Chain A
Amino acid sequence: MTPSPLAQIVTVAAYEIRKYIRGRRLLGMLILLGLIVGLFVGLPPALGIKYASTPDAFISTFATFSGLLVVLGGVLFAADALVSEHEKRTGYFLFPNPVRREVLVLGKIVASLIVCTAVLSLYYGAAAIAALIITGSLTWEVGLSYLYTLGYMTAVVGVAYLLSALLKGTVAATVLTFFLFTLIFSIIGGILPRANVEPWFIPTSASGIIANALGGPAVRPGPGGGDVGFIPDPATSLLVFAGYAIAGGVLAILWYGRRELAS
């Protein structure tokens, strides 16, 4: 008998995770992590500079890159998950099985969340261990920054899935996901304050809470060097993340369920 949808979600997620592990993307991501951590830990002594003295200050240098890692995670482990079934024609194998399209999308989303969480946990884990060794202590704010990072990640994955369900090609989906979060949202989030609109609803602006949790630069300049800044509120930002994650995921499921496999 056909298993329950929940059991099928677990199956799909397991095979998707296997894809990411074997497809070298995870390896690439881990190499990048190693590089970042290595530079942060190795460069100061090599140049004769002192490390930051408090754990918060030490980790805030790591945290400035969390957002970029989150976006890379969304690009590598989410953006092409749906569209590739059409583009690479693997859907002709997968879809005639007795499994609902919704179940397939959910299984894939679960896999993306697990892999992205694993990568970010490793990053924060490495940063925390380095902070503990170098400064001799840790604070709760580090954990908070980590949790905010995960929250931002769910928003990015949700939007990446929506683009993956909508767009015709894997390249379009991955490139658009990347530029949406590195450029487009940042630009909008930087310009809105000049028009006296608080960009609390722009995910990149909301992601400021990741660094701010560690007492990072509270007010950052907008694009073009303007001095208008915006300090996101953690609770609002988390709600915004959840909104993007849920809206993106739900719309992706709805749209993908209607999408035809004809080429």
Chain B
Amino acid sequence: MEAVVQQPITRDAPVRLEGLGKEYGHFTALKALDLTVAEGTSLGFLGPNGAGKSTTIKIMTNLIRPSRGRAALFGIDVRREPTRALARIGAVIETPEFYGYLSPLETLAYAGRLRGMSSKDLRSRSEAVLKEVKLTEWADHRIQEFSKGMKQRLAIAQSLLHEPDLLILDEPTSGLDPRGMAEVRDVIKSLKDQGRTIFMSSHLLGEVQEVCDDVALLNHGELLIRGSVRELSRGADTSTIQATFLHPATPQDLEALAGLPGVEEVKPSSDSTVDLRITGGQEGQARVLEGMIARGLKVITYRPLGSSLEQLYLDRIQESDRL
């Protein structure tokens, strides 16, 4: 029975959003989003609070209707054929709640039955996913006693249950403790290594940088950037560097620093620490360090404050907010 149910491999992109828009009353949450995610890649979906990330994800999972445009998963229109479109995906949306009267095992069984998993599959997969999110000990406890983080772990587990080809995750690590976050990141990375496609919203740029190949940046319901993490990180021209000196920097030192080529701004954050905004990419950073040493400043540390992706994010959001 279980041998030949393998899905045919289609060439349709796992995610294709075309002119997707959504209005809540008179408020436009999403304008006209075009976005494609290729098979086997992982996309980090970024944007400030209220940018429209969850709105997009809810349309993709048929929780809300788009006001215009369409969302297709593996070439299947979500509105027209929701069950077929959702059959190959696993989703975590906005920290879901679970039925308090069920245990994690029963919850997984409910989802598994709705998806038509065999009892045998269900048993082995439930065990595996609960182990993966470290809920094995709690497998038979009623969910009503669970903490927020435990529910989030269960949310991850149920999204993985049927080994979906596409994972749609809305802030998957929110509510988790630092170790939980790292564990979930590892789970997602290993799924990526297995060739599954991942669509993941997040506020944690480090997380996106670690897990995702590509990023899309959304603000006010509009796509600002879409590109590969590597290129965008490299391409960021300005960065903020924090330098610490052995001795406090004098006002003359600060003035001299501000005069170095490529330095846009010098902001002392304590006696012997300054934050510098530097243009010219990594070469610019190297030149400034040379300049400091040439001036006789004893540099103890010299490190970027935040990633260059973060800088890019902040710059572009600020730019689009100004418009």
Q: Could you list which residues of chain A lie within 8 angstroms of chain B, going by C-beta atoms?
A: 1-3, 7-8, 11-12, 15, 18-19, 22-23, 88-93, 95-100, 260-262
Contact = CB atoms under 8 A, between A and B. Distances in A.
B82 A100 contact: yes
B64 A262 contact: yes
Nearest to B91: A96
A232 to B, nearest CB: 39
A98 B115 contact: yes
Nearest to A15: B110
A261 B97 contact: no
Contacts of A95: 61-63
Contact of A99 (B24, B98, B114, B155): B114
B94 interface: yes
Contacts of B113: 3, 11
Contact of B96 (A15, A90, A99, A260): A90
A5 to B, nearest CB: 9
Nearest to B170: A92
A91 B98 CA distance: 9
B225 to A, nearest CB: 26
Contacts of B110: 11, 15
A91 B101 contact: no
A97 B114 contact: yes
A8 B112 CA distance: 11
B101 A99 contact: no
Contacts of A89: 94-97
B116 interface: yes
Interface string B268-294: 000000000000000000000000000
**Chain A binding surface, main DSSP class:** loop
B114 A11 contact: yes
B84 interface: yes
Residue picked from A1, A22, A96, A261, most chain B C-beta under 10 Å: A96
Contact of A3 (B55, B61, B116): B116
Nearest to A262: B64
Given A1-B116, A18-B101, A261-B58, A96 B64 contact: no
A98 B96 contact: no
B65 interface: yes
Given A7-B116, A98-B87, A261-B63, 5 more contacts: A1-B87, A15-B110, A88-B97, A95-B61, A97-B111
Contact of B62 (A1, A7, A19, A96): A96
Contacts of A97: 86, 111, 114-115
Contacts of B96: 89-90, 92-93
Interface in B100-115: 101-102, 106-107, 110-111, 113-115
Interface string B243-287: 000000000000000000000000000000000000000000000
A8 B93 CA distance: 22
Contacts of B86: 96-98
A8 B114 contact: yes
A90 B97 contact: yes
A125 to B, nearest CB: 27
Contacts of B155: 93
Contacts of B93: 92, 96
